Amino acid sequence: MNGVLDEHTVISKNAINIQSEATFHALLELPYERLLEWSCVYEYSGLTKEDYPFPLALVLILDETKRGFSSLTIEALLNFFHWDKPYSVTELATCYRNACKRIRGVKLNIDLESNDDPNITFDCFFRSKKIPVKKYFDLAITALNEAHASTQHLLERNHEDGLTSIFCFPPEIKTAATQYLLYFGQFLEDLGIEAFTSLKEELNRILFTVTPKDKDQALDWIRQVLAIYLQAPASGFADDLQDSSIAHFQWKANIHHLRSQLELARAMIQVKEATIDALQLTNYRLQDQLNVQQQALADSNTTEKTEEEIFGGAASITKVKLKGLTINLPYILRRLRRK
């Protein structure tokens, strides 16, 4: 290409798979009619996330005889099965559709129904054989950037005041684990924290979002409470909370129900000669998305009671350290009250 030998690009009967970045950029400068001289399909997957919102793959399909038109297609290489954004793929697709309605010359195609290969593509159709391919490439990239900017503005703004955790539960425990997650809103309320909770399921992922009604409520505190809540079924420390309040009783009842369901799931899976570590819900949490400004440090001179008397003072509960997380059981015990 341009007098430079490209030893890496793969040429087959019907397609050219471009491996060299230099070759790719050189091809963009050529008019559509020149590309027809060598092949009807060009592919390039070297468009990395460092330069674009997502890794991209470009496909040039120059086949006027079969389809009646030729096109340049850019596919967003999204990792749908390890989705780690604080919004769902469906929300992303909706924002992309709305943004691309304002961009002429680009057709957006979204297929989220395919279990094997869900995809989002931007198509530009060649209108002149004389114009360099780069014009159509730039148009598709502009559509992608504008669509993604719209997504960032709308979706991330909507989630900036909340904590979103992403889970991937095995099918055998999904129902029980989801029910336990839904109770977290009541658990927070019993701790004196009013919050909205939402749960969305998509592409085998559970997006669980907690948004405090009081915007000044520290999200980092909610994150720590959620970590305690998720570890409670496996650790057994909640069983040590000897209290007769409705809040304590309901929390332990939910834990016992979850345990019974998970033990049943474990038994069913063992019949299939498989294993599961179901009680530790944190094993299935893929990522936390915590969008919050740095919280002010608490007053370092404030003292905190590290023990809570139970049984009329005959015994006390102290802090517990579990897998790197210090669980302040006395504080939980004092706060967990049903109004």
Q: Which helix (H) or strand (E) holds 41?
A: strand 41-47
With cut-offs at 50, 70 and 90, classify the pLDDT of residue 310.
very low
**CB–CB of 165/208 below 8 Å?**
yes
CA 52/CA 32 separation, integer angstroms = 24
Residue 102: per-residue pLDDT: 80
Per-residue pLDDT, 284 = 62
Residue 151: what pLDDT?
77
pLDDT, mean of residues 246-268: 82
Q: Distance (Å, rounded) from C-alpha 39 to C-alpha 247?
A: 70
Q: Retrieve residue 132's tokens.
A: 């360099």
The string of pLDDT tens digits covering residues 124-157 is 888 888 889 899 899 888 888 888 888 777 666 6
Given a cut of 50, is residue 321 above it in pLDDT?
no
In which band, very low, low, confident or very high, does the pLDDT at 3 lie, cut at 50, 70 and 90?
low
Q: How confident is the model at residue 183 (pLDDT cuts 50, 70, 90)?
A: very high
Q: Name the segment(s) of the chain with CATH classification 3.30.1460.
A: 10-159
What are the CA-CA distances from residue 267 to residues 74, 173, 215, 236, 273 (Å)?
Answer: 47, 12, 44, 20, 10
Q: pLDDT (tens digit, 9 = 90+) per residue, 24-49? A: 888 889 887 888 777 678 888 888 87
3-state SS assignment for residue 119: strand
User: What integer pLDDT is reported at residue 289 of this predicted model?
Assistant: 47
The predicted pLDDT at position 295 comes to 33
Q: What is the mean pLDDT of the chain?
A: 72
| Mean pLDDT calculated for residue range 291-300 | 32
In the predicted model, is pLDDT for residue 161 greater than 60?
yes
pTM of the model: 0.53
CA pair distance 23, 10, nearest whole angstrom: 12
Count CB-CB contacts under 10 A for residue 172: 20
What integer is the mean pLDDT of 73-80?
82
3-state DSSP assignment of residue 270: helix
| Residue 127 DSSP class | -
Selected residue with higher pLDDT from 80 and 191? 191
Helices 21-28 and 133-151: crossing angle, nearest 10°?
A: 110
Amino acid at 173: I
**296 — pLDDT class (breaks 50, 70, 90):** very low
Report yes or no: 238 and 180 within 8 Å, Cβ to Cβ.
Answer: no
Please write the tens of the pLDDT for every residue from 234-244.
Answer: 777 666 666 66
| Contact in structure between 18 and 42 (CB atoms under 8 Å) | yes
The third-level CATH classification (topology) of the domain covering 10-159 is Yope Regulator; Chain: A, (3.30.1460)
- pLDDT number for residue 184: 92
Largest CA distance in the chain: 90
Kindly indicate the confidence band of residue 282, based on its pLDDT and cuts at 50, 70 and 90. Answer: low
Separation between Cα atoms, residue 177 and residue 91, nearest integer Å? 24
